[in-house]
Structures are given as structure tokens and as C-alpha cells.
Chain A
Amino acid sequence: MNPSSAEPIVHLKGVTLNLRSGAGEVNVLRGIDIDVAAGEAVGIVGPSGAGKSTLMMITAGLENPTAGSVRVAGTELVGLDEDTLARFRRDNVGIVFQAFRLVPTMTALENVAVPLELAGRSDAFEAAAEALDRVGLSHRVEHYPEQLSGGEQQRVAIARAVVAKPRLLLADEPTGNLDGATGEQIIDLLFGLARDDGTTLMLITHDMDLADRCGRTVKVADGRVVEDTARPHADQAAE
């Protein structure tokens, strides 16, 4: 898919983030420009401290840039208040974290149902059960996170991220806390679901093999995009 053929789902223009710390001002991002087309799978790679996670936070509306424009799914995120951003995420963005971030007091089913409950959907639990079925956990719905293995917890997190059929799926080192084999399964699942739903996938990783499965790799270093490579034969999120 050609990123420039239609309105991009993610449009970052001149995104800068400066943070103040005890040691003075830190330039975390120094003018990032990225467009991601709907259905694309983009791997964001780079060394530690390059600004990958910050880029992800800004894209999810979790952090406000110091300057620049952040347009996601047709909405300009800069200047929106926190609650409007929360509702925006609920309706448009699914996020998968390295550390799973499941709510320990909720069962797998409830964890997955939360975004739909927040959206006021009356079929939240039916849809959540279906999502768990898609990730192969229909036999684990009433289990609490602590009763699940790491891989199972990440599958629950993926089910939660896709249950509301978001237009954009963000994954921050989703295999970072998992062993190799489990990590493979999780990545297959993530790509498969994104492809089936036609969801755009942005994946942060420092694993180049994993990044190579994406149709496009954006390399970030020192707060800048230093390389942006498209690969025609890679796993596309949507074909």
C-alpha cells in the first residue's frame, strides 16, 4: 500500500518534545515527521533512549508534544483535554505493553471487556468472550492475571487491545517479557489479528528480525527519524 495514496491514519508533523529535568532541558524528540497509512504495519526500531516509546505515547495521545502536529484517525490530538483524549483512545486506539498491564483484580474476561464497558456497549462481555476465543483463551475467561502464564497474560492484553476493533494498534515491545517461543506465537497472533481486522499496526521493538516482518521499518535515533524503509514482501497488517 502506498502511504501517500490516501489520508494517512497517523500523521506526525514536526513533533518535538523537550522535557525539563534536574540537569536542564532534554530534547527527547527533535522534529519527527511520519505518515502511516491505514492497514500498514510499521516497526519502530532504535537504541534505548532514542525516543521510541515517547513517539508511541504521543501517537496514543498520552503525551503532549512541545511543538508539532499529531493527527490520528482524522483527529488532531494536540490541544485536546485529557478526558477527550481518553475517549479518543477508547474508540480508536488499542495498545499492547511489554509488561501486559492487566488489572489484577479483574478476570481475563473483565479485563478484555473494560474498553467496551467504558464505551457503554451492552454486549461488552459477549464481544470480550469472542475476542478471548480469537486469541485461544476461551478456556481461561474466568482466570485472574496471576493465574495465567506470561504468554497467556499477553494474549489477554492483545484481546483487550483489539476487542473494540480500533483503527490503530500500538505495541510496545510486546515480546520483551516473554521467552522466544512464546514471543513468536504472540507476534503471529498480533499480526494475524491486525491483518484480519484491517487494523494499522505500529510496533516498537529492538529486535530487527521482528521489525523485518513489518512492511516498513522506521529507525529512530536521538529523537529523529534516521531511516524509513519499506519492504514489499513483509507481513502486512492488511493486504
Chain B
Amino acid sequence: MRTGPIALRLARRELRTGLKGFRIFLACLALGVAAIAAVGSVSSAMMAGLEGDSRRILGGDVALRMVHQPAPPEALEYLEASGDVSTVVSMRAMARGDGGETSSLVELKAVDDPYPLVDTLDLDRDMTLADALAPRDGVHGAVAEESLARRLEIAVGDRLRLGESTLELRALITTEPDRLVNFASFGPRLMVSDAAVAETGLVQVGSLVRHYYRIVLPAGADRQAWIADLEERFPDAGWRLSSLENATPGYDNFVSRVTLFLTLVGLTALLVGGVGVAMAVRSYLDGKTETVATLKCLGAPSGLVFRTYLLVVCILAAAGTAIGLAVGALAPMVAAQLAAPLLPFAIPVAVYPAPLALAALFGMLTAVAFSLWSLGRVCEVKAAQLFRSAIAPLGGWPRLPYLVALVAAIGLLAALAIFTASDPWLATAFIIGSVAAVALFLAASWVIMTLARKAGRPRDPELRMALANLHRPGAPTPGVVLALGLGLTVLVTIALIQANLSRQVDERIPDVAPAFFFIDIQPHQTDRFLELLRGIDGVGNIQTTPMVRGRITHLNGQPADEASVAPDASWVLRGDRGLTYSATPPENSEVVEGTWWPADYAGPPLVSFDANLAEGLGVGIGDTMTLNILGRPMTVEIGNLRKIDWGSLGMNFTFVFAPGTLEAAPHSVIATVHVDDPSLEAAVQRAVTDALPNVTAIRVKDALEGANRILSAVSIAVRATAAVTLVAGTLVLAGAIAAGHARRVRDAVVLKVLGATRMRIVKIYLLEYGLLGLSTAAIASLVGSIAASVVVVQVMRGDFVLPPGVLALTALLAMGITVSFGFVGTWRALGQRPAPMLRNE
């Protein structure tokens, strides 16, 4: 310790006392860094897993998807000349047990002989897929997921019905190489040959069928050049092309959104931890004023003092960050274990340096930013203090250069958060929200302290002393209110959002939602369909609407993939959307701009569009959109904009065309059916699917159960991350109590000397912490409710209600935390006997 720059030498000597007083500092930093490092590492691992398996998931080097109709023969010819091609047809359909007693919605997949081009499909029987699907005695074979056999109450070897044909279940699917778990998967997989599906009568004009073409190019072929050539040859083919680079856009998008969200929660934990860091550094430097004064007396300039203690903070921060990184780096291993049964790809367990480096940078910057205030103040310690018996704690404002450095560090932290986020706008909003929340909590703590000061002198001495403890100089009130308040706010926000979503799914939707969606009704079957249902007692409102699918290709003549659109509207450009037409305004929506067309409209193509999406896409009345419908481009003008109530779960369409445009396009009809008594649902479903086997029934209840399952799975992850923030807040509270321990012991001793019983002293502290917890909970509930209502109303476009249970629970939790930590601290203080301490004074 005798070499190196003097600041480093002094810093190393200062660190000889070990981690005393820095445990909370380390814990706060390690926790925040661990959260960010873990989220980043798991996300990188998932992306690496998706990328590593992208060829298998895609089913080839390039995949084309078409809706409603197959690729034109000349395109298919070209594909076949380019490499190996496999054609897959996929749709939703109803499968029924051979006796007709049981039925289930299935995700049907019809495959050709070359399928699968990449990897293999495993069956539970010793046979090839081709053998399993081949016709035997005039009956086509089928393979299915085990859950379908269970639902239809059949076994391998039994028969089942699909559309108008009968199939034999030959084997169960063990692994399907190209199946990604899809949130919109409603039923189990049923796989048949392309020849078999042709006989079912399911593939009709307008039915919702997807045709996939997977291509494996010859080794050494230039994939990009081939794709460019394909797009040039068939510019209007209307297919959606996926390549290895974007094999799983839905998943990538989902992973990146969840990563962003959890990273922001991690940053909140780090922010709360930052408060702990600031309090720990302040308390540490408060104890260092004599050393600083001595060093200054011996000739140390302020700059050297600053550098020395900045180094102390940096060295300790590096230790805390390293602990956090170690925990975060192990996260992919844990995620791989936990997620293995849920994900269709393996999570590669490795150390991902990029997210770890980012987390480290966040950790170090947070530590420095939150220490600068105290570091700047310690430079102002006057050596003249050494001539006085008591050394005063730090006070006053740091000098301008330190304030500039402080602002720069916070700016850097914010910039890092914004520029590394996949959605910089959301990150910016988060930063602004955080700054506002911090300001609000600081203001609130000022109000609490002022009220405590102005409360006068209550008769109850314990209450009087508790109030005095809240506002005395050096009281930990601001730090505790800020840190615990932020932690509680995150928890309240998430709990309220979740409560509102659950209410939506559990209570509101079932009241208004139909019992069934029926899809793929052929226009000529509509009358028969209505007749069937009206013949059943208890069937309520039935609505039918024509539907065809189409995809936006251009906005005002500009290719859609080049348009700059708001992130929350980009989904509408990504895939095929349902289109309908109507002479009258649809229910559940309201024209907010422009006017609805006359019922006998007969002019150029007009469309009524969703007002929110129009804003997101930057289009309005008079602008044009070009849609690819069944392979043909169609340009329409926006005639009016509607506000749509999606929560009704009724028949809502983003695009409603004016009469005269879509009628000629081949389309099917979809229907919603309300049933008065849920016990009738099975009968309704059987009546329709028996008579019209090509029609598919989707039970809304099943879909909602699926949504609930996803919601509860996601909410566990979200709550766990939010809990990290509360743990950070609790650490800060524990730190504040530990920092005040010496004062508390002294107070307790003096009170005992003056005749206070232990019960009375306990009452003072319980009152102090109870008041602190209650007021913090009140502010956190307010801020959390505002944040949650903004998310629910503005982002999710739902109604917001305030469940009192959530708020009561928050208050209880906050008081529980503060009072129990306060009590533990007090109990230790009470254990001190007065005599030894008084002798030492």
C-alpha cells in the first residue's frame, strides 16, 4: 500500500475497515445489477436459442405463407426449380370422434411427402410419417397430439371424422420440429396428408386456410440474392416471406417486449437501490469528516479528497456489481431448467458478455451518480473543525463542478437506459415517470416532515416523540419514503393492472361475450346455419358477417415495411387481417371522424378504419391503403375513422369496406352466437358441426381460459421481478434503521435514565415506524393507482376500477415491513444497559 497514485493508496487504506457500513450498499447494488443482468442474459440466451433453431422452426431456409389460396402454379414451378420444396396447409377445424359424441377444435396441418425438410417428426410408433398418413383400405391415416386422443376419447387405431371424411389415428406425435407454441393455438395438432385434406371438403373458397411453402436451397446458394430475385419475379404474389434472419418475428417481438419491460422493472430496483447507495455513502462519509479534516490539515487538497472517496465508492461498487453479475450470469442456466418443458427450442447455457457489460455499466453509473452529492459535500469539510470537540456531520450543497458531474452522471444513466432499450420512447417515458415519482416522493417526505413538525405537541408523550423522530434533523424519512415508496408503487401498479385485467377476463367479458365464434361458414350455408340455431331453444343473439383476409402492402403508395409507424400500431402491418363490408355502421364502434357512407353507396372503394391505428400509422381520411386480398392488390381510400370497443369480444373489424368492393371476392362467413344457458353449449356445437362439418366452432370460454393461463404465467414472472424492487426498498429501510442504531441506543438509554419503561420506548418507535409506513403506503397507493390507470385506460384501452383490497393490502404490507424492521432495531437498542454507555460518554 506504499505505491501507486496517492488517491489510490489512501482509498485502499480507507477500505481496511472492510465492508462495515457497506453491506446495504453492496446488497442494493448487487440486487439491481443481478436483476438487469439476469433479464438481459436470459433474453440473449432465448434469442440465441431461437436463432440456433431457426432453420428447424422455419422448416427450411426460406418460408412463404399465403392465406386463403395456394401460390400460383408458375411460382410453385419456380420454387421447385430452386431447391427442395415442401408444401403445408394449415387451418382450424373440428375433429369428431367416430361416434359423433365427442368433438374438438384442432389445429390441422396437411403435409406433403417431403415434409419435414429439416429435422424429423417423431411418432410414438415405429413407423415413418409417410406410412402413418398413407391410405389403408381407402381410409387416410392421421397422427395427432396425445391431448386430441384424450378429448375425442379414442386410441391409436380408432377412427375419427374430419369435415366430410373419416380418418384413422395411426400414431401420436412425440415431437414436431417446426411447431412453435403459439398463444393463438386453441386446439391440439392433427396432421394428415395433403391428399387427405382435399377429401375433407374443408378447403373451400374463402375458408381461412394458410398455405406454407418451405424451401431448402442448394448448398452454397446465395439466399439473399435468391429472395431478391423471387420478390422481383412475383411482386404481387401476396405471400409473407420469412427467412432465417426473421424466422420467428412473433417470438422475437415477444421476447424483446418482455425483456424491455423486465429491464425497466430492474432499473426501478436499481433506482431504489441507488437510494440505498446514497444513504450508505452519506452515512459512511458522515463518519469520515474527521479523517477528511485531518487529511486537509496535513495538506491534502479537495480534489485529492474527492478522488480518494470516489475510488472507495468505485471499488465497493465494483464488488457489488460483480456479485450482481455473478448471479445474473447464472440466470440462463436456471431459465433453461425451468423453461425446458415450455419452449420448443433449447436455451443455450452460456455466459453472455453483452448484457453483463450493460448491467455492469448501469450498476457502476448508479453507484457514482447516487454518491456524487455526498462526495461533493465531503470536499467542503473544513480542517478547522479539528479544533472543535464535536465534528459536525456533512451539510450544505456541493460546489458547482460536483453538481455538474451529478447531472452528467444521471444524464448518462438515462441515455444508457434509453439508447439500449428496444423501444426508446417507452424507456424515455419510464425515465420521465421515474424522475417525476422521485420528485413526488421527496415532496411527500417534505410534507410528512412538515406536518410532523406542525402537529404541535400532542398530549400523548409517545406520539409527541414519535412525531419528533420523523422530522428531526438527519431523520431517515426522505430516504425511507423514497425507496420504500418506489418499491411499493411498482407493486401497487402491477397488482392494480393485473386486478383490472382479471376483472375484464373473469367478470366483464363473460357477461357480454358470445358463447361461440363459428368460422368458415360458406355463404350458401348461412341460411342453413341460422335455421339450425334458431331451432334450438336458449340460443340468443346470432350475428353473421362476411369475412376475407388481406394484408396492408402500401400506405399512400409507400411500401408498408418502409413506413414509420408507432410501435403499438405496427402489428396491423405484420400479418393478414380480417376484412368485412357493411352498408351500416357496425355495433360496438362509433364513427369519430368523417361520416358513414349512405346505405346505397356505389362509388370508388372506401374503407372505415380504426381511429387509434390510423393515428399510429399516421394516416387519416382521404389517405389510401393498398391491401393484398387473395393475391390481388386493392387500393382503398379511408372514408371515416371509428373508435372500436374491443373489450366487447363481439364482431369487431379494423377494416370495414363500403358496399361494392369485397362482395365479389371469394369469402366465408363468420358468426357469433350467444347462448342463454352454458349447459346448452355442447348441443349447439354438435348441431352445427354435425350438419355443417366444414364449419369450425371456437368456444369463447376455452379461449378465455387460455388467455387466463397465459396471464397468470406472465403475472408470476412480473410479480417476481416487481418483488425485487420491494426487496430493494426494504433493504434501504433496513439500512436507514442500521444507520440510526447508535442514535436509537443513545435515545433509549437517555429515556430509560429519565424513567421511561421499555414498553413506552417500544411504543414510541412503533408509532414512528407505523406512521412512516402508513404515509408511505398512502402515497405509493396514489402514485401506483395513477400509473395503473394510465396503463389500463391509455395503453390497454380498458376501464379502470380501484379494488380497495389491493390498496388495503399495500397499507398492511408497508406497515408490516416498517414496523417489523423498526421493532427489530428497537429491540436491539432496548437490550443496552444504561450504565456502561453512560460511563463511556
Taking a contact as CB atoms under 8 Å apart, the answer to whether B299 and A90 are in contact is yes
Q: Which one of A35-43, A112-120, A209-217, A219-227 contacts B? A: A112-120
Rounded to whole angstroms, the CA-CA distance of A63 and B608 in the bound complex is: 79
Rounded to whole angstroms, the CA-CA distance of A47 and B39 in the bound complex is: 67
If A83-B302, A125-B2 touch, does A62 touch B297 (CB 8 Å cutoff)? yes
- Does B48 lie at the interface of the complex (its beta carbon under 8 Å from any beta carbon of A)? no
- Does A106 lie at the interface of the complex (its beta carbon under 8 Å from any beta carbon of B)? yes
Query: Can you sample 11 A-B contacts with CB below 8 Å?
Result: A62-B297, A82-B296, A86-B300, A86-B302, A90-B299, A91-B299, A97-B386, A101-B293, A103-B291, A110-B1, A117-B6
Taking a contact as CB atoms under 8 Å apart, the answer to whether B6 and A103 are in contact is no
Taking a contact as CB atoms under 8 Å apart, the answer to whether A63 and B384 are in contact is yes
Give chain B's interface residues, CB within 8 Å of chain A: 1-2, 6, 9, 13-17, 290-291, 293-304, 382-384, 386-389
- Write out the residue numbers on chain B whose beta carbons fall within 8 Å of the beta carbon of A101: 290, 293-294, 297, 386
Q: Which one of A53-61, A179-187, A228-236 contacts B? A: A53-61
Distance in angstroms from A223 CB to nearest chain B CB is: 16
Rounded to whole angstroms, the CA-CA distance of A83 and B297 in the bound complex is: 11
Rounded to whole angstroms, the CA-CA distance of A160 and B17 in the bound complex is: 22
Rounded to whole angstroms, the CA-CA distance of A120 and B9 in the bound complex is: 12
Taking a contact as CB atoms under 8 Å apart, the answer to whether B13 and A106 are in contact is yes
If A105-B16, A106-B13 touch, does A95 touch B304 (CB 8 Å cutoff)? no
If A62-B382, A105-B17, A125-B2 touch, does A57 touch B298 (CB 8 Å cutoff)? no
Taking a contact as CB atoms under 8 Å apart, the answer to whether A118 and B297 are in contact is no
Taking a contact as CB atoms under 8 Å apart, the answer to whether A83 and B303 are in contact is yes
- Write out the residue numbers on chain B whose beta carbons fall within 8 Å of the beta carbon of A118: 6, 295, 298-300, 304
Taking a contact as CB atoms under 8 Å apart, the answer to whether B6 and A110 are in contact is no
> Closest B-chain residue to A160, C-beta based?
B298
Taking a contact as CB atoms under 8 Å apart, the answer to whether A53 and B291 are in contact is no
Rounded to whole angstroms, the CA-CA distance of A103 and B1 in the bound complex is: 15
If A56-B387, A106-B13, A118-B6 touch, does A87 touch B298 (CB 8 Å cutoff)? no
Rounded to whole angstroms, the CA-CA distance of A53 and B13 in the bound complex is: 30
Rounded to whole angstroms, the CA-CA distance of A160 and B298 in the bound complex is: 9
Distance in angstroms from B473 CB to nearest chain A CB is: 14
Beyond the given A53-B388, A114-B298, please list 10 additional residue pairs across the A-B interface where CB-CB is below 8 A. A53-B387, A57-B387, A62-B384, A62-B386, A62-B387, A86-B302, A95-B297, A103-B294, A113-B2, A118-B304
Taking a contact as CB atoms under 8 Å apart, the answer to whether A103 and B302 are in contact is no
Could you say which of B6, B15, B304, B389 has the most chain A C-beta atoms within 10 Å of its C-beta? Answer: B6
If A57-B387, A62-B384 touch, does A89 touch B16 (CB 8 Å cutoff)? no
| Shortest beta-carbon contacts, A-B, top 6 | A90-B299, A83-B301, A62-B384, A53-B387, A57-B384, A118-B299
- Does A3 lie at the interface of the complex (its beta carbon under 8 Å from any beta carbon of B)? no
> Closest B-chain residue to A110, C-beta based?
B13
If A62-B382, A114-B295 touch, does A103 touch B301 (CB 8 Å cutoff)? no
- Write out the residue numbers on chain A whose beta carbons fall within 8 Å of the beta carbon of B299: 86-87, 89-91, 115, 118-119
Could you say which of B294, B386, B387 has the most chain A C-beta atoms within 10 Å of its C-beta? Answer: B387
Question: In residues 113-154 of chain A, which contact B (Cβ within 8 Å)?
Answer: 113-115, 117-120, 124-125
Question: In residues 21-73 of chain A, which contact B (Cβ within 8 Å)?
Answer: 53-54, 56-57, 60, 62-63
- Write out the residue numbers on chain A whose beta carbons fall within 8 Å of the beta carbon of B294: 101-103
Taking a contact as CB atoms under 8 Å apart, the answer to whether A82 and B302 are in contact is yes
Rounded to whole angstroms, the CA-CA distance of A175 and B571 in the bound complex is: 81
- Write out the residue numbers on chain B whose beta carbons fall within 8 Å of the beta carbon of A86: 296, 299-302, 383
Rounded to whole angstroms, the CA-CA distance of A64 and B778 in the bound complex is: 49
Rounded to whole angstroms, the CA-CA distance of A102 and B293 in the bound complex is: 11
Taking a contact as CB atoms under 8 Å apart, the answer to whether A87 and B13 are in contact is no
> Closest A-chain residue to B380, C-beta based?
A82
- Write out the residue numbers on chain A whose beta carbons fall within 8 Å of the beta carbon of B17: 104-105
> Closest B-chain residue to A163, C-beta based?
B298
Rounded to whole angstroms, the CA-CA distance of A87 and B383 in the bound complex is: 13
> Closest B-chain residue to A97, C-beta based?
B386
Question: In residues 70-86 of chain A, which contact B (Cβ within 8 Å)?
Answer: 82-83, 86
Distance in angstroms from B20 CB to nearest chain A CB is: 11
> Closest B-chain residue to A125, C-beta based?
B2
Distance in angstroms from A148 CB to nearest chain B CB is: 16
Rounded to whole angstroms, the CA-CA distance of A152 and B304 in the bound complex is: 28
- Write out the residue numbers on chain B whose beta carbons fall within 8 Å of the beta carbon of A60: 297, 383
Taking a contact as CB atoms under 8 Å apart, the answer to whether B291 and A97 are in contact is no
Taking a contact as CB atoms under 8 Å apart, the answer to whether B302 and A89 are in contact is no
Taking a contact as CB atoms under 8 Å apart, the answer to whether B387 and A97 are in contact is yes
- Does A99 lie at the interface of the complex (its beta carbon under 8 Å from any beta carbon of B)? yes
Contact of A90 (CB < 8 Å), options: B293, B298, B386: B298
Taking a contact as CB atoms under 8 Å apart, the answer to whether B14 and A105 are in contact is yes
If A57-B384, A104-B291 touch, does A89 touch B298 (CB 8 Å cutoff)? yes
- Write out the residue numbers on chain A whose beta carbons fall within 8 Å of the beta carbon of B386: 62, 95, 97, 99, 101
Distance in angstroms from A233 CB to nearest chain B CB is: 31
Rounded to whole angstroms, the CA-CA distance of A105 and B303 in the bound complex is: 20
- Write out the residue numbers on chain A whose beta carbons fall within 8 Å of the beta carbon of B293: 101
> Closest B-chain residue to A92, C-beta based?
B299
